[in-house]
Chains A and B, each alone.
Chain A
């Protein structure tokens, strides 16, 4: 099955700086790559996603890039704010079936 790896496991950034989280996947048939933000005591919240027919997608301070050849995709958060502090999960699925394989998560800490 699909194997998704996520790096780094913990990331600390100064407020206002950028944060980048990278994920790799193993199954070249995967075609859907969402990112979730999970705050303490809450369920995962979808923040952005990308499909394999595009290379980049942006939504305000958040962007995702996809490199199908290298089988990796990255989350970029610019102008980080304290409320960006959370655990971020990447995931992958194929065939539109929404059976998601998740990475291990990345704890992002934004230092005021």
Chain B
């Protein structure tokens, strides 16, 4: 399985600011995804990070709020923009390939005050 590193592991941010979360994988992967896990809740897919093109967003998530970059096959970033307390969640990076398992990073715990 791939080793996935997320930075930062946690942060406390002021409302109205933005935070960029990094996801680094130790090997090239076809697919990278970003999920959100609100406190005590399940995981919800935000978007698929596409290498070399714009990310594909799920219903309810938009690029202006969650811009995503994927410059190569081992790295992606998720930005949470203009944060409000409702954005307080764990943000998780996931990687996998077609017809292979999906693995998760340890998550970034974001608190917006």
Contacts and interface: CB of A to CB of B under 8 A. Distances in A.
Interface in A93-110: 96-105
A44 B42 contact: no
A34 B99 CA distance: 12
Contact of A98 (B33, B43, B107): B33
Interface string A4-27: 000000000000000000000000
Interface of A: 1, 32, 34, 36, 42-46, 49, 89, 91, 96-105
A96 B42 contact: no
B41 interface: yes
Given A46-B103, A97-B98, A98-B94, 9 more contacts: A49-B101, A91-B43, A96-B98, A98-B96, A100-B45, A101-B45, A102-B42, A103-B42, A104-B41
B92 A43 contact: yes
Interface string B84-111: 0000000010101111111111110000
B80 to A, nearest CB: 18
- B contact residues, range: 20 to 34
A32 B98 CA distance: 11
A42 B43 CA distance: 13
Q: Which 6 A-B residue pairs are closest in the complex by CB-CB distance?
A: A96-B99, A98-B96, A43-B104, A96-B98, A43-B106, A102-B43
